[in-house]
């Protein structure tokens, strides 16, 4: 049977409640996005100021130095755009798009950053596996420290929005934050060993993806309604 | 001015049952007629509201409340709860007005909010039931599936009675399916959303929506094979045709 229309009294009740309920201001999402972009730029600038550029940066060939950085930045921006999008129906990115972005971009960016190791960048090669692991753990910790505040920032950007796939969107936000961190670490760390780049620069994407998924569930999943 | 060009309004599609279950596809529904006459009107009204025109909310309500309430009544099978959830859903739309993207489809958004609220209420009920004594009947009146519809003005005719029985059987069968399958079926067949819109509401891929709706239809066909064969001629689901 066709369900009946809502009762007329409901309209009056809702309109009365709406009149006294505070709402986000017009243009709130644009303002939020601009604030998030500014905060992201500030965070990156502050990180580079504190950590410093890699010591061989000036000696690196321009295509390597700026090319890898540009690819990482474009990848990070794309992932951020996908994860933070409101979508065509205000419910975030289509799940298929988010899945493809998650499955394709991080491995591609990792491969690119491993493949584009410049001969001029081998100023600090790794002596053995012990040193490799130690150095990689330092970069892992650095990546996590750089990415977690960005993940918080991206979660704030989506505050109050409906997310039907919270784990997926959270994972995409975590991956976006990890990719921004990857770009920053690339500008700071001079170690050119491919294994180090994989373990120290690219691998933190996986735990950050998991943390993002968890935080997505915590932040965007509905809560039981009090009755 | 915000427009809805290139964006589906989420209106029940022509030939998709017009917001009605398969048993009474031809029933006249006033709000549906309003929607059919105003493609994109809901998105335009929401765009005005998001831009700061407070008076536009009434229009948003008038255009969206019918389909949303119908969806929630079918989902909850409880009119009182559906009214509560409709109320809360519109408050959430209101709170998020500044986040609205001009031109974005409003109905799938409203359905997604409504579904989320419904799932939250189910979880809340389970939690309450778990915390109470075993002798308690678990929410008695609210748990009992209520009549999903109201009698038509000329109810009493054999066809009406038959249609009502069939609708009740369909709703009962849907109620016993996994929620994801039943909701996929409802969004496609009863609310008339496209596969991509239903995927957005459910937060999953279009392929998964097609699969869930297909499973729901198969399940319905097993349970109501005799009637479905007579009424619908074994018509494939929308998902099968898209």
The tens digit of pLDDT for each residue in B164-177 reads 777 788 888 888 88
Nearest to A28 among B98, B164, B201 (CB): B98
Q: What is the pTM of this model?
A: 0.75
Nearest CA in chain B to A30: B99
pLDDT at A93 over 50: yes
Give the span between the Cα atoms of A148 and A166, in whole angstroms: 18
Other beta carbons within 10 angstroms of residue B63's beta carbon come to: 24
pLDDT at B25 over 80: no
Render pLDDT for A150-182 as a digit per residue (tens, 0 to 9).
999 999 999 888 888 899 999 999 999 999 999
Identify all chain A residues contacting B82, using CB atoms and an 8 Å cutoff. 3
- What is the least distance, in Å, from the CA of B145 to any CA of chain A? 14
Question: Tokens in use for B162?
Answer: 């038959």
Q: What is the pLDDT of residue A142?
A: 95
Q: Name residues whose C-beta falls within 8 Å of residue B69's C-beta, 6 or more positions apart in sequence.
A: A3, A5, A6, A10, B82, B83, B86
Chain B contact for A130 (CB, 8 A cutoff): no
Contact B197, B187 (CB under 8 A): yes
Restricting to A residues 151-170, those with a Cβ less than 8 Å away from any Cβ of B are 160-166, 168
Q: What is the pLDDT of residue A50?
A: 94
Counting one residue from chain A and one from chain B, the pairs whose CB atoms sit within 8 A come to 188
Q: What is the pLDDT of residue A139?
A: 94
- What is the least distance, in Å, from the CA of B87 to any CA of chain A? 6
Across A6-20, A109-123, B62-76, B131-145, least confident range: B131-145
The sign of the torsion formed by the CA atoms of B198, B200, B201, B203 equals: positive
Whether residue B97 and residue A224 make contact (CB cut-off 8 A), yes or no, is no
Nearest to A24 among B90, B98, B127 (CB): B98
Q: Which residue of A5, A10, A89, A98 to mutate against B (max B Cβ within 10 Å)? A: A89
Q: Name residues whose C-beta falls within 8 Å of residue A194's C-beta, 6 or more positions apart in sequence.
A: A114, A117
Give the span between the Cα atoms of A118 and A223, in whole angstroms: 51
Give the span between the Cα atoms of A56 and B53, in whole angstroms: 57
pLDDT band at B135 (very low <50, low <70, confident <90, very high): very low
Q: What is the pLDDT of residue B79?
A: 87
Chain B contact for A88 (CB, 8 A cutoff): yes
| ipTM metric | 0.82
- What is the least distance, in Å, from the CA of B183 to any CA of chain A? 13
Radius of gyration of chain B (CA): 18
Chain B contact for A223 (CB, 8 A cutoff): yes
Restricting to A residues 12-31, those with a Cβ less than 8 Å away from any Cβ of B are 13-15, 17-18, 21-29
Render pLDDT for A101-135 as a digit per residue (tens, 0 to 9).
999 999 998 888 887 766 655 555 556 778 888 88
Q: What is the pLDDT of residue B217?
A: 86
Whether residue A10 and residue B119 make contact (CB cut-off 8 A), yes or no, is no
Nearest CA in chain B to A226: B124
- What is the least distance, in Å, from the CA of A147 to any CA of chain B? 25
Question: Tokens in use for B138?
Answer: 């678990």
Whether residue A1 and residue B112 make contact (CB cut-off 8 A), yes or no, is no
């Amino acid at each position: 049977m066709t369900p009946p229309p809502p009762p007329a009294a409901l309209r009056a009740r809702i309109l009365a409640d709406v009149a006294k309920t505070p709402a986000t201001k017009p243009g709130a999402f644009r303002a939020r996005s601009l604030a998030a972009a500014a905060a992201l730029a500030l965070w990156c600038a502050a990180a580079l100021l504190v950590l410093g550029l890699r010591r061989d940066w000036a000696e690196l060939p321009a295509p390597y130095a700026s090319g890898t950085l540009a690819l990482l930045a474009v990848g990070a921006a794309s992932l951020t755009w996908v994860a933070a999008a409101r979508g065509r129906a205000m419910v975030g990115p289509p799940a298929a798009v988010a899945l493809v972005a998650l499955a394709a971009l991080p491995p591609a960016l990792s491969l690119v950053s491993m493949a584009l190791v410049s001969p001029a960048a081998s100023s600090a090669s790794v002596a053995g596996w012990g040193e490799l692991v130690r150095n990689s753990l330092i970069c892992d910790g650095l990546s996590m420290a750089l990415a977690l505040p960005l993940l918080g920032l991206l979660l704030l950007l989506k505050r109050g929005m409906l997310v039907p796939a919270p784990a997926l969107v959270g994972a995409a936000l975590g991956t976006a934050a990890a990719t921004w961190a990857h770009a920053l670490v690339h500008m700071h760390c001079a170690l050119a060993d491919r294994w180090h780049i994989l373990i120290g620069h690219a691998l933190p994407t996986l735990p950050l993806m998991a943390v993002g998924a968890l935080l997505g569930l915590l932040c965007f999943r509905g809560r039981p309604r009090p009755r | 001015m915000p427009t809805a060009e290139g964006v589906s309004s989420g209106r029940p599609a022509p030939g998709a049952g017009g917001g009605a279950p398969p048993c009474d596809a031809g029933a006249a529904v006033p709000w549906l007629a309003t929607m059919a006459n105003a493609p994109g009107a809901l998105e335009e009204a929401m765009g005005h509201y998001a831009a700061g025109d407070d008076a536009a909310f009434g229009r948003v309500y008038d255009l969206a409340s019918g389909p949303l309430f119908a969806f929630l009544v079918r989902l909850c099978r409880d009119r009182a709860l559906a009214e509560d959830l409709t109320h809360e859903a519109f408050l959430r739309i209101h709170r998020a007005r500044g986040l609205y993207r001009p031109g974005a489809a409003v109905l799938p958004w409203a359905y997604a909010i409504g579904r989320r609220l419904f799932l939250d209420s189910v979880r809340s009920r389970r939690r309450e039931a778990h915390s109470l004594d075993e002798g308690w009947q678990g929410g008695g009146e609210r748990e009992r599936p209520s009549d999903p519809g109201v009698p038509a003005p000329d109810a009493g005719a054999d066809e009406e009675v038959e249609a009502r029985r069939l609708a009740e059987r369909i709703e009962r069968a849907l109620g016993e399916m996994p929620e994801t399958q039943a909701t996929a079926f409802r969004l496609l067949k009863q609310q008339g959303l496209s596969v991509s819109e239903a995927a957005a509401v459910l937060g999953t891929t279009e392929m998964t929506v097609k699969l869930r709706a297909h499973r729901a239809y198969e399940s319905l066909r097993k349970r109501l094979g005799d009637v479905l064969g007579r009424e619908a001629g074994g018509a494939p689901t929308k998902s099968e045709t898209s």
